[in-house]
Structure 1
Amino acid sequence: MSTIKERGITFPADVVTRSNLELMKTFDIRDDDIMLVTYPKTGTWWIHQVVKQILASEGIQDEKYLGDFPNLLEFTIPGKGPIVELFKTAPSPRVLATHVPVEFLPSGLLGSKAKTVVLMRNPKDTAVSTFKFWQKVPEVKTPESWDSFVEQYLAGDCPWGPFYDHVLGFWKLKDHHNILFLKYEDMKKDLPAEVRKLSSFLGRPLSEEAVQAVVGATQFDSMNKTVGQKNGLWTRKGIIGDWKNHFSDEQSRAFDDQYRDRLSNTGLEFEFE
């Protein structure tokens, strides 16, 4: 995998360029934009589908530059160019998405009326999903083994930066009125409640009938059998606690130690089963 480093953060050079990151800084944000922020493998595709269905309940369809996959602003689409350039002329409301740490966001985002949704997932399941994904994607160096990957992940040697740096960078903004934090685990346990919360935050409250329609279209298992299988990469098991099938006791303790060290006194917590 060829990589670039920008401000100490590693990015896969095959899809993210320095020029793209520069373009993101000055990307013009519209007040009706919806920005989806995720660390890789924490539910990007899922939250994108939920937002799409909320908008679809009003008859709004987003631009499909990448089919059904979220359009990550920092990416380049072969033959089409930087997504950040393509979105300049996309019709409103635009559903934008990114994996970048907070310091790479468009400079005008937080001062605008645009809505930012940050989806987070527990670090153990995130690590497993990342490991499985890296094994399938040619743009990323295939891990030598699960054990070596765990060491790499604990050290924060990952595309888009260390997990905790990423989530805590956004968590510092938790009191910002235009940012909503959601958790993958909450979506798995009570998707209707999270859809209501999300639609209300977006200023598009849904009737109970519409909530159930969105839930029916985005329940992970049924959704994975339809849209997800078109490409086979973006979804896997979609469960809480799959980490137990991969972590040794020693690895689990190491993750727990890091979890306590980084998140104590922050107010941010995750569920692991």
Structure 2
Amino acid sequence: MAQDYVWYQGIPFPVVYICPEHLKAVHEKLVLKDEDIITVTYPKSGTHWLIEVLSLIHTKGDPNWIRSVPTGLRSPWIESEVGFQTIKDRKEDPPLITSHLPIQLFPKSFFTSKAKMIYVIRNPKDVLISGYYFWRFTNLAKKPESLEQFFEWFLQGYVPYGSWFDHVRGWMSMREKENVLVLSYEQMKKDPRSMVERICGFLGKALEPGELDLVLENSSFLAMKENKMSNLPCIPEEIVPAGFKITRKGITGDWKNHFTPAQTQAFEETFQKKMVGLPPELFSWD
């Protein structure tokens, strides 16, 4: 690989489909519409799952769309040159958009629009483990040689999209806005029905009981694992190896199977230092 990361404004990004010139244009020139529905997450926080849910809410549970159109075309990533072009060329609904961008690089137009954003937060220990397996087995960015190495990178913010702590602190400043909904991955897993109902209320969408059942059925972990369109079908094999699935485990608490006691202590100390001042109830993982 010619380079480990694409760097912009001091933040490392994947080397595929992203360039500094494009990131600058997205921040300064991309105009978001009031009807846009935007999924924003730090990577490995349930992004694809939320997109699946939003796609199925749009179709009232009918799975034909999610089984025939890849995730990245249903809800394109704005920081990706391919995704941005898809958004520009789109002539009709649905207005679904995705991003992992930190708040300071997000399109300026969002902050004066009525576009609705859903931000998903996940236990950063699980984010770390999921990220380790994803970045290690794909060719999108610098590969860690070991979990121990990736653990240090993560605490330092030397991973794609930078520091989890900075990303979350930035977007949590928007949590009281009417057009922003913050969801917890852990709560989504614990009670997906309530999660879908909450999303529908936020978006002003109404589903019949049977339609809601279909949304839940077709966005389940097993359904997504079996759905080729939900597992990066359009990415070349030299970037994402054949057989790789974005749906690895889909569980909470997997970090307990990987962290040493010393790592747990080091992570907690870093977390307390970095997230000081934010309400503890925002981070109820268990």
| TM superposition score normalised by structure 1 | 0.90
Give the letter aligned to residue 184 of structure 2: K
The residue number in structure 1 matching 2:153 is 152
Within-5 A mapping of 1:31-42? 31-42=34-45
1:89/1:152 Cα in 2 relative to 1: closer, same or farther (>3 Å)?
same
The residue number in structure 2 matching 1:53 is 56
**Of 254, 259, 262, the match for 1:250:** 262
The residue number in structure 1 matching 2:100 is 99
The residue number in structure 1 matching 2:196 is 195
Tell me by how many angstroms 1:189 deviates.
0.2
Tell me by how many angstroms 1:83 deviates.
2.0
1:58/1:193 Cα in 2 relative to 1: closer, same or farther (>3 Å)?
closer
The worse-fitting range, judged by mean Cα deviation, of 157-166 and 211-220 is 211-220
Give the letter aligned to residue 80 of structure 2: F
Secondary structure of 1:92's match? coil
**Of 26, 31, 34, the match for 1:28:** 31
Write 1 or 2 for the structure with the bigger share of helix: 2
1:28-75 per-residue CA deviation (whole Å, 9 max, x = no partner) reads 211111111010111111000000000011889989997134421111
1:17/1:244 Cα in 2 relative to 1: closer, same or farther (>3 Å)?
same
Give the letter aligned to residue 15 of structure 1: Y
Question: 2: distance between equivalents of 1:39 and 1:112?
Answer: 22
The residue number in structure 2 matching 1:79 is none
Give the gaps of 5 or more residues in structure 1: 77-81
Give the gaps of 5 or more residues in structure 2: 234-242
Question: 1: distance between equivalents of 2:257 and 2:63?
Answer: 41
Give the letter aligned to residue 270 of structure 1: F
Paired positions, count: 268
1:117-154 per-residue CA deviation (whole Å, 9 max, x = no partner) reads 10111100000000000111112222111111111111
Question: 2: distance between equivalents of 1:236 and 1:68?
Answer: 16
Question: 1: distance between equivalents of 2:60 and 2:88?
Answer: 25
Question: 2: distance between equivalents of 1:110 and 1:98?
Answer: 15
Within-5 A mapping of 1:1-273? 2=3, 3-25=5-27, 26-57=29-60, 67-69=70-72, 70-76=75-81, 82-90=82-90, 91-227=92-228, 228=230, 232-267=244-279, 269-273=282-286
RMSD across aligned C-alpha pairs, in angstroms?
2.3
1:132/1:223 Cα in 2 relative to 1: closer, same or farther (>3 Å)?
same
The residue number in structure 1 matching 2:239 is none
1:166-187 per-residue CA deviation (whole Å, 9 max, x = no partner) reads 0110000111110000111011
Instruction: Answer yes or no: is the 8 Å Cα contact 1:124–1:272 preserved in 2.
Output: no
1:64/1:92 Cα in 2 relative to 1: closer, same or farther (>3 Å)?
farther
1:250/1:182 Cα in 2 relative to 1: closer, same or farther (>3 Å)?
same
Give the letter aligned to residue 125 of structure 2: K
1:64/1:21 Cα in 2 relative to 1: closer, same or farther (>3 Å)?
farther
